[in-house]
Structure formats: C-alpha cells, structure tokens
Chain A
Amino acid sequence: MKTTKFLSLALLTGTFLVGCSSDDNEPDPVNEEETITTMNVTLTPQGGGTTITLQSQDLDGDGPNAPNISISGDLAENTVYDGIVVLLNEAETPAENVNEEIEGEADEHQFFFVPNSSLNATIAYTDDESDYVSDETGENFTSTNPVGISFTLTTTDASTGTLAITLRHEPKKPNDGTLADAGGETDITQAFNLVIE
C-alpha cells in the first residue's frame, strides 16, 4: 500500500513537472554591446587643406562579411595631420560611441600606428592617459603612457603604402611602441592603403 502510494506520487510529480515547463514565449534578441563595428579616423592638415577620413566598417561584427574600407582621398606631401580616432558600435541604435569606454580605461588600452616601410609617414602620439578620466576613480589618470586616440601623422615625399591601426586591450604599459612588445589582446586591427602625393 505504502509503496503504491509512493510510486504514484513519484510518477505524478514527474508528469506534472514535464507537463508545465514549456512556454511559447519568443526569446529576446541580443544586440552585441561590446562589438566595435566602425573605426573612423579623421586626419586634419595643420594650416588648412583637405581633411582626409579613413573608415573601416564591419556591421555584422563576427559575422561572415569582411569590413568595408573607405578612404576619402590622398594625403598631401610634407604635411602634418592632426588625427582623431572614433570608434562606434553601430549594432546598437543609436550607435554607441566606444571612445568613452576606451577613455575610461585608458590605462588598459593603446592604439598602435604602423606605417609600412614604403610609406613616407611618421606617427606621434599627442595624448596620454592623464588626459582622460578614469571610470574607476572618477578622476583623471595620473599615469602618462600614450593612448593614441589623438595623434599626428607627418608626411614627407610622395609614396604609397599601408598604415595599420591596431587597438590592444590590456597591453604591457609602458612598452617600446611595438606590437610585439606590447602584447595584449587585439580589439581592432585594420590596414589602410594610403597614397601621398
């Protein structure tokens, strides 16, 4: 008797649990919060001239489509350009400006600008960590390692070549300015084919 009771109870519990756990609600879509879809680099010549923009846009993030690259024009010879990098997450609406997060963690990020040997251009950082407000403390960083959200690009003679721009997360800081020494994880890496004339 006891066993029969116990058994029917066990069976009933099972049936009950199986029976009522299904629901037909549709899952919510996930918008990637952390993806960087777009990098806009604006190069403004000091003393006037045509502003050049470089863009790499990868709207499907880790999807199969490769990023679209657009370059607004050629750089002028012997010119100093003020460069600004803006990162966007266009997977969210409205697009999120990722620069805020990079700035808040400036001590954990660094951009690296690597022109190849055929491109007659040099790069210099014009910002450092102390330009930015730490997310953690709410105050400006006290350290002064370069970040690279703003920089200068100085051209000399006419030439063609690539400029690779890489953002590293948690690199060794300070480092000798090379990617190999810095290590860390790559958040963005994109090469642009540039013409100086």
Chain B
Amino acid sequence: MKITIFITLLLLIPLYGVSQDCTDTLTGQVMDYHNKTPLENASIQILGNQKIVKTDSKGKFQIPSLCPGLYELEISHPECTTTFIKVEVDDITWIDIKLEHHLEELDEVKVVGDAVAEKTNSALEESLKLKTLEQYSSGSLGDALKELAGVSSLNTGANIVKPAIHGLNGSRVLILNDGVRMQDMEWGDEHAPNIDINAAGTISVIKGASALLYGGDAIGGVIVMEQARIPAKDTLYGKSIVNGVSNGRGGNITTELIKAFESGWYLRGQGSYKRLGDHEAPDYILSNTGVQEIGASLQFGKQLFTWGWDAKYSYYNSEIAVLRASHIGNIDDLIRGINNGQPEIIRPFTYDIQNPRQEVTHHLGKLKFYKRFEGLGKWNVQYDYQNNRRFEFDVRRGERDNQASIDLELTTHTLTTDFKLDSKELYELQFGLLGRFQENFANPLTGVRRLIPDYEKYDFGAFVTGEYRLTDEILVDAGFRYDFNRIDAKKFYQTSRWEERGYNQEFQDLIINDLGTQLLTNPVFDYHNFSTTFGAQYTENNGSVIRVNYALSQRAPNPSELFSDGLHHSAARIELGDLRIKSETSHKISASYQQDFNNWGFTLEPYANFIQDFILLEPTSVEFTIRGAFPVWEYRQTDARLLGVDAAAYVDWTNSWRTDHQFSLVKGTDTENNSALINIPAANFRNKLTFVKPEWNNFEFSLESQYVFEQNEHPENITAFSPEQQQEVLLEINTPPEAYHLLGVNSKMEFPFKNNLKLTTSLTVSNLLDTNYRDYLNRQRFFADDLGRNIILQLKLNY
C-alpha cells in the first residue's frame, strides 16, 4: 500500500514539474515512418515541463536528469503531424519515435486544396487550383479545364462540353473522379462527363499516357479530380457558393460541410443545384438550351497514418436541352440551316427544357482501404460501382414525346489494388492490378433501333511504374502496363446493312439468329494492349526544369467505333462503326522547359504524337432514304500525326501588376492521305492582366483576352445530290468559322468576419463586348452563334 502511494507520488512529481535530484536519462531517435530517414530539428517536450530538446542531424536527442517514472512526450516537427507518446523512464532509456513525414495522406494544412502533388515526373502536367474551380462553379468541368494550355473542348452548345487534351477527346481522355475512372459513355461526341465541378478540390491534367497507374489507353491524357484533404483534427468547416448568371437567367448553389475528428474519423457532404433557362447569343435567344443539374455526395471514413478506409457515394443528374434548331431532317434541312445565318427556330425565352433533350444520371459508389507497412510502403485496395443511365428525347411524331429515342444503362464494377514501395530514398516502385466488368443494356422500348448494342465487357490490367533518383538533379521514371479487354456484344443488324458492310464475307459465323430483315449477331472480340513510358526530369540549381518523356499507349476500340449503326437525328447523319477496327497505337514524345527568374518565368512544351491505326469519324459519302439524303459518317483507321506546342509565360511587373500569356497550337495530319484531321482545335492566344491589392480586402481584378484563330487545316467538304433541289450541292460541313476575339473581366474581394467566417464576392463578365462568333469545335456552329455576354455574380461563404 505504502509502495503504491510512493510510486504515485513519484509519477506525479515530474508531471507537476517540480525539480528534483534525479539522474535517469531518456535518449532516442526520431525518424520518418516509411523510409527511416532521421528527422533533424524535431522538438521533444515533456508534458508539464518547460524543457524542450531538439534532435540533431542524426535525429537523435537526449533528455538528462530525469526521475524514473512515466512521462508523456510531445514530439513535433515542421513537416509532420504532432504526436504524443507515453514512455516509462528507468535508468537510461532508449526510445525510437516514428513520425509521418509525408504530406500525402493527412496533414494539418489549414487552407486545404492548394497543395497539389504531381502525378508524374517527366510528363507534361498542369493543375487547376480550388480558386480557379470556384470561379467556374456555375459552368462545367470542360469550361474550367480550358484555362490550361493545350486543353480545349468539343462542345454541343454551351452545356455539353467534352474536354480535349492536345486535340484528342472522348475515349482518349480518361477522367479520374476521386480515384474512380469515370464510365459514363464517353464515346459519344454529345456526351459530356457526368461530373459536378463543385465536387472537386483540385484537378490535374496529365497531357499524355504517362500516368500508367490510371490506364494504358490515355492517348490524349488523364484528368485527375481530387478532393481537398481533410485534416486529422477536431474540426467542423464548410463553404457555400451562390452564383447568379445573367445568360440563362438562372444560377446555382453549392454547399460543402466537413466534420473531422482527431481520431481520424471524418464525414463529408456536398450538394449542388444548377438551373438555367435558354441561353442567348448576342442577337437572339438560343431556343431550348436550358439546363438543370443536381450533384450530391456523401463520404465518410477513417484516416490514420498506418491504415484507413473511405466510403463514398455520389449522385449526378442533369437534364440538358439541345438547341431546337439543331434537330433536322436531312441534308436539305442542314444546308438550309447553314445558309440561314441564324437559327430557324427562335422562340421567346423560357426555362422549359423541351425536346430534343438529354437526361443522364450517374451513381458512383466507392470503398477504399489502405494500409502502410513500416519501412516498406503503402497498399491500396478499392472497389467501385458505377451506374450510368442515359435518355435522349427527340422531336417525334405521334404520342412519343415522352418516349426516349435512346435509353442506355451502363453498369460498371471495378476492383483495383496497388502497392507503392516508397521507403527507399533513391527509388520508388508501384505496381498494381485491375479487374473490371461492364454491362450495357439498350432498352428496346424506345421504338428506335439501338445505336449502341447490349454488351458485356471484361477488362484486366496490370502495371508497374518506378522512379529513380540518379543524381540530385536528375530523376528518371519508367513504367509498363498490360491491358486485356474483351467485348461480348449482342447486336441486331439490318440484313441490308450487314451486306453493304461486307460482313457477310468475313463475319457470317457471328450470326446467331436470322429474323429476315434483321440479323442477331454475337461479336466477341479480344484486345491485348501494351503501354510503356519512360522519361527524365532534370532540375538545375538556377530554377530551370527540363522534362522529357516518351509514352507508348494502345487503346481498344470503344463500342461506338465498333457498333455504331444508324441515323443520328441530332446531327442528321448516318454513323457507321466497323467490326474490323483494331486497337490504335500512339507514340508520344513530349518535352518541357521551364525557367523561373526573379519576376518572370516561362514554360515551353513541344510534343509530337504519332498514332498508328488512328480511329476517326469522318463524312465519307451520302445515302438516300425516303426521308431524303444523309451524309454517312464512317469510322475508319488511318495513320495520324499530331504536332503541337504549348507556351506560357508570366511577368510580375510590380507587387500589384502581373500579366500571363499563353499560346497553344496543334496540327493534326492524316499521314496516309496527307490531309488534315477533323476537329483539331485552332491555335489560340490568351493574355491576362491582373491587379492585386491585398490591403483592400484581397482585392483582385483581371482582364483577359482570348484570340482564337481560324482553323485553316480541315478536311474537304463533300458534295451530295439534293432531292429537293434536284442537283449536286456542296455540303459545307467542314468549313471552319472565322477567327474571333473575346474579352472578359473578373474582380474579387474578401471580407473576413469572426469565427473563421469569410465572405468572398466576385463579379465575372465573359464575352464583355457581346461579340458574335462561332467556334470550330462547337457542333452547333452550323445553326447558331455562340453565347453572348454573360455576367456572373458570385457570393462565397467559408465557415
């Protein structure tokens, strides 16, 4: 009994910090958790004692003159999470303390979202920060990405924006949404990514196939959307943004709330709603161009340094009206549309979303688990589920307005796992596996022959990537990936089409049921694709960085390229896939030179992409039906070459004045026919003048000019016989619109209040001068001008 009291007293004494004659010593070493690097300059403090010791260059420390007993230590380091450890001191005690030295998983960053870790070393990579994303809160992912050099978009009006990297889009651009590769029918020109831009914390764009971790088929590139990191401390915070948008007479609202605990638990909820009516060109209403978008996500999990898990569900729904005047009957209607100069149908402004329209819903569920192994690395395993439902409603005869013309349901299950060996100082190695099952169901109740058939798809992938630090200045990286894809489809062909395509010569054995005018076929195709990359990054002491990268990538044809077959009313064209299409192979060489001086800097990024068996969709001929003549767009393969350069520079003239300059150019050539490729973005030049004055409530003002050149390299127009005019007519579907110049302004101010409350107001005006223009990469350019002036007033509240 007496002894117990004595010990308790002994224990309490040091905690109260009463000085006493003691001779015990606590020594130890503080090091990095993964690679056991000693951490210099870490502070060790005995709780309740003012005494602080620091570690030396070997990470070692010593606290002399201690009494035996139990102590609690607080260990902190500038780059690590502060840790508390209990230790029993008796005579000379040695303790090993491991701190998390990575900012990767959990850190105490207060302003989250501004730190972006690079995904590759040697490839061309750029990222958009939260600040820029918030500016585009009422727009779309594709709009925001165009801020980056080399990124453009293929539009169908203002609401359907497909991002394009270095001139390539669709299946050649992978979109990673918080670690999940989006499976949202990206094969269609008029299918935009099913993503709410407000759900992203940062977005990185890798301009090429060098990030093999994400997939081997990113011939265009990879868009990686990530969440802002959630700190591991007891906190509750959030933000709300409200936008009022003049063009479309609507707006959006988005809210995010995060609750985190020091124990590592966290909960995050986010929701957005957007509603716009008809957009307006400078001279007229763009009838039927409204949009409604709903996005919501819920995420929770536990993140500890050694292990953690994460569960997420996200929902996205959008209803998009498609310009009424762009829905046409045949080439005579198309010619009339082109010649009219303005849309044939201009109605008074309305919020109604009428036919033609699209309605898409995307559900995404994700479970992720990670574990760190001391001195070895980190293991990830993830399962994700996606369900994508797409309805397209056409202007139809009879009582069919509420009966979709296209009704597709795409379900995807993916299981991935990877291991990252990052404990060694000189090299890092990552390897992983992927298994995916996908099923597409095309509802026959549409009363319209399926454009995309029912299919099942199996994917398997394996990769290994690594990086090695050769010298202090040179870092090399390399990777290899293998992908297997099997597509097993059940498709009906019209007997006449089957024969016209010549399939009765090559694929007769695929027929499983002959219904007379239609044939049910069962094509099963396997693709084996290899991709590899290697490159180097050289950092000079004077601030310049040189990157060189080579990437070989292969992409299997998508269902649209294989199976498309039928009349596309939204484009008045007959689209034909080809069962003979095989994988395309890209060799891309890219380099970048980046140099920063005291108050200015520049980046120069040339690249060359040689693609064998490049799959493209081009108008080839004309077919006649009782409805008149239609241009036939066929998928074919050719060898292609894309050469381009992105250049960017900035100058800090004074503390307040800054200018940014950006230029992008890409040239696409069909090298087999020595002709220009279709849908290659025109050269463009962006210049921005920014004025900042932090003293005036962080006042910021910028004026931006964007000049888009005329695309002077494009495929030839085609001629067709017009039944209405009873003669051959020229179909100017490849004639590009003229060059244009747009001005925009943006201004912003911040008002901090008590309790971390902060209000940010901003005003953005795009197309300031209400300029009439049409863009080569907008599929509605035949029918109507692009958007007129748009004024966006934004209020953001951080709390």
The residue on A at minimum CB distance from B628 is A189
Q: Are A191 and B726 in contact (CB under 8 A)?
A: yes
A64 to B627, CA, bound (A): 13
Query: Contacts A30-B448, A186-B332, A187-B329 known; A59 to B517 CB distance under 8 Å?
Result: yes
Q: Are B517 and A62 in contact (CB under 8 A)?
A: no
- Asked if B367 is at the interface (CB within 8 A of a chain A CB), the reply is yes
Q: Are A62 and B490 in contact (CB under 8 A)?
A: no
Q: Are B447 and A18 in contact (CB under 8 A)?
A: no
Q: Which of A6, A10, A13, A15: most chain B Cβ within 10 A?
A: A10
A66 to B626, CA, bound (A): 8
Query: Contacts A18-B415, A183-B336, A189-B627 known; A164 to B723 CB distance under 8 Å?
Result: yes
Which residues 90-134 in A have Cβ within 8 Å of B in the complex? 91, 98, 101-102, 104-105, 116
Q: Are A7 and B329 in contact (CB under 8 A)?
A: no
Q: Are A185 and B333 in contact (CB under 8 A)?
A: yes
Which residues 708-724 in B have Cβ within 8 Å of A in the complex? 723-724
Q: Are A63 and B330 in contact (CB under 8 A)?
A: no
| Contact pick for B400, options A34, A64, A67, A191, CB 8 Å | A34
- Mask of A14-49 contacts with B, CB within 8 angstroms, 1/0: 110110011000111111111011110000000000
Q: Are B444 and A66 in contact (CB under 8 A)?
A: no
A98 to B626, CA, bound (A): 14
List residues of chain A with CB within 8 A of the CB of B518.
Answer: 29
Q: Are B490 and A67 in contact (CB under 8 A)?
A: no
Which residues 116-158 in A have Cβ within 8 Å of B in the complex? 116, 135
List residues of chain A with CB within 8 A of the CB of B513.
Answer: 26
A187 to B329, CA, bound (A): 6
A61 to B343, CA, bound (A): 28
Q: Are A21 and B411 in contact (CB under 8 A)?
A: yes
Q: Are B332 and A22 in contact (CB under 8 A)?
A: no
- Mask of B423-460 contacts with A, CB within 8 angstroms, 1/0: 00000000000010101001010111110011010000
B331 to chain A, nearest CB (A): 9
Query: Contacts A22-B456, A27-B454, A64-B496 known; A169 to B626 CB distance under 8 Å?
Result: no
- Asked if B630 is at the interface (CB within 8 A of a chain A CB), the reply is yes
List residues of chain A with CB within 8 A of the CB of B332.
Answer: 179, 186, 189
The residue on B at minimum CB distance from A24 is B490
List residues of chain B with CB within 8 A of the CB of A64.
Answer: 496-497, 500, 623
- Mask of B542-578 contacts with A, CB within 8 angstroms, 1/0: 0000000000000000000000001100000010000
Q: Are A11 and B396 in contact (CB under 8 A)?
A: no
A29 to B515, CA, bound (A): 9
Q: How many A-B residue pairs have CB under 8 A?
A: 172
A18 to B739, CA, bound (A): 51
List residues of chain B with CB within 8 A of the CB of A17.
Answer: 385, 413
The residue on B at minimum CB distance from A62 is B567
The residue on B at minimum CB distance from A172 is B344
- Mask of A51-91 contacts with B, CB within 8 angstroms, 1/0: 00000111111111111000000000000000000000001
Q: Are A169 and B369 in contact (CB under 8 A)?
A: no
Query: Contacts A29-B520, A32-B447, A67-B625 known; A60 to B369 CB distance under 8 Å?
Result: no
| Contact pick for B336, options A26, A36, A166, A180, CB 8 Å | A180
List residues of chain A with CB within 8 A of the CB of B449.
Answer: 30, 32
Q: Are A30 and B724 in contact (CB under 8 A)?
A: no
List residues of chain A with CB within 8 A of the CB of B385.
Answer: 17
The residue on B at minimum CB distance from A108 is B397
List residues of chain B with CB within 8 A of the CB of A159.
Answer: none
- Asked if A194 is at the interface (CB within 8 A of a chain B CB), the reply is no
Q: Are A186 and B437 in contact (CB under 8 A)?
A: no
Q: Are B396 and A61 in contact (CB under 8 A)?
A: no
List residues of chain B with CB within 8 A of the CB of A116.
Answer: 726
List residues of chain B with CB within 8 A of the CB of A36.
Answer: 626-627
Query: Contacts A3-B371, A62-B566, A64-B496 known; A190 to B724 CB distance under 8 Å?
Result: no
- Mask of B623-647 contacts with A, CB within 8 angstroms, 1/0: 1111110100000000000000000
Query: Contacts A3-B307, A27-B492 known; A60 to B517 CB distance under 8 Å?
Result: yes
The residue on B at minimum CB distance from A102 is B397
List residues of chain B with CB within 8 A of the CB of A21.
Answer: 411, 413, 437, 439
List residues of chain A with CB within 8 A of the CB of B381.
Answer: 7, 10-11
A102 to B397, CA, bound (A): 8
Which residues 173-197 in A have Cβ within 8 Å of B in the complex? 179-180, 183-191
| Contact pick for A32, options B307, B329, B448, CB 8 Å | B448
- Asked if B484 is at the interface (CB within 8 A of a chain A CB), the reply is no
Q: Are B494 and A60 in contact (CB under 8 A)?
A: yes
A2 to chain B, nearest CB (A): 9
A10 to B398, CA, bound (A): 49
A108 to B398, CA, bound (A): 10
List residues of chain A with CB within 8 A of the CB of B376.
Answer: none
B454 to chain A, nearest CB (A): 5
A18 to B457, CA, bound (A): 11
- Asked if A160 is at the interface (CB within 8 A of a chain B CB), the reply is no
Which residues 744-783 in B have Cβ within 8 Å of A in the complex? none
4 A-B pairs with the lowest CB-CB distances in the bound complex, closest first: A186-B329, A33-B447, A185-B329, A64-B500
Interface residues of B (CB under 8 A from A): 307, 309, 327-330, 332-333, 336, 344-345, 367, 369, 371, 381, 383, 385, 395-400, 411, 413, 415, 435, 437, 439, 442, 444, 446-450, 453-454, 456, 490, 492, 494-497, 500, 512-513, 515, 517-518, 520, 566-567, 574, 623-628, 630, 723-724, 726
Ordered by A's residue number, 30 sampled pairs between the chains whose C-beta atoms are within 8 Å are A3-B307, A6-B309, A6-B369, A10-B369, A10-B381, A15-B415, A21-B437, A22-B437, A26-B512, A30-B447, A32-B449, A34-B396, A37-B626, A58-B626, A60-B494, A60-B495, A61-B494, A62-B566, A63-B496, A66-B624, A67-B626, A101-B397, A164-B724, A169-B397, A179-B724, A183-B345, A186-B724, A188-B628, A189-B724, A191-B726
In addition to A60-B497, A164-B723, 13 A-B residue pairs with Cβ atoms within 8 Å of each other are A11-B383, A21-B437, A22-B437, A29-B515, A38-B626, A62-B566, A66-B625, A169-B329, A179-B332, A185-B333, A189-B330, A189-B626, A190-B723
